[in-house]
Amino acid sequence: MEFERHRLAWESKPLLSEIYAGFYRRIIKLVDPHLPGRIVEIGAGLGNLKQHLPSVLGANLFPSPGLDLVCDAYELPFLSDTLSHVVMVDVFHHLSAPAAFLREARRVLVAGGRLLLFEPYISRTSRLVYGLFHHEPVGWRKPIDLRSIPPPARLYYAAQGNLTRLAFGGVSTDWEAGWEVFHREALSSFAYLLSGGYSKPAFYPARWLEGVRRCDDWLSRWPQWFGARCLVGLRKTEG
């Protein structure tokens, strides 16, 4: 079971949890504490964000220990205009109908509510790494279904490049209609790529992490060459 594999990797690789802690800190900086309503993480997996943001509600398509509710991203069990934030970490690229999800997220968020997406970023370097060493397809040339209709069946889907293509100019669409993109950054993340993630051994010891991070900070000046992660913040607009 994938959940169990991820749990074992998380518990046995302190390097991985420290890398994700850095990701979560970036996400939390975009949380607006003045907005009314709850914060919900969709596809919360192990529920690790809750360790850094205790107020978050963890939701997943399948039940797992430590999460608060089971729900479908296309049919969220919340009243309209009630949530302040919806957060997704490495989940958006699993949505075969992203526009349908964006419509549902917009329904449940309050005016000015925020959707925070943390995803793979496809650059010249990371496309090679993700393509060769990651089990999920990059899907760089795969058509993106931008109809606002949920898929009839919840079959497995993955296209790691979808947010890069939509938010950073790879596809010319009005995918953000009804939203304002208030934050968009692509980051070098050799710290993550060389950690082996959940499925492979690390290529460097944990004591090197800060040095690798400093290198990433420098390389992030050239995201089209070295980017591997991205953070996109969308704000619900009126109308």
Domain extents for the chain? 2-236
What does the alpha-carbon distance between residue 32 and residue 211 come to, in Å, rounded to a whole number? Answer: 31
pLDDT at 106: 97
The pLDDT assigned to 1 comes to 58
Quick one: which of 132, 73, 130 has its CA closest to 107? 73
Name the pairing type of β-strands 57-60 and 38-42: parallel
pLDDT on residue 59: 95
Q: 140 with 127: CB under 8 angstroms?
A: yes
The CA distance from 171 to 162, in Å, is: 9
All residue ranges of the chain with pLDDT < 70 are: 1-3, 6, 9, 170, 172, 239
Q: Which two tokens stand for residue 144?
A: 């993106």
Contacting residues for 77 by C-beta, under 8 A, at least 6 apart = 69, 71
pLDDT of residue 172: 65
Average pLDDT of the chain is 92
What pLDDT is stored for residue 158 in this prediction? 95
At 205 the pLDDT is 93
CB-CB neighbours of 126 under 10 Å: 28
152 burial via Cβ count (<10 Å: 0-12, 13-18, 19+): exposed
What's residue 239's pLDDT? 67
Residue 64 in contact with residue 46, Cβ under 8 Å? yes
Report residue 133 CA to chain centroid gap.
19
pTM confidence score: 0.95
* CB-CB contact of 186 with 121 (8 Å): yes
Domain topology for 2-236: Rossmann fold (3.40.50)
Query: What pLDDT was estimated at residue 99?
Result: 94
Residue 215, token pair as written in the block:
């290198």
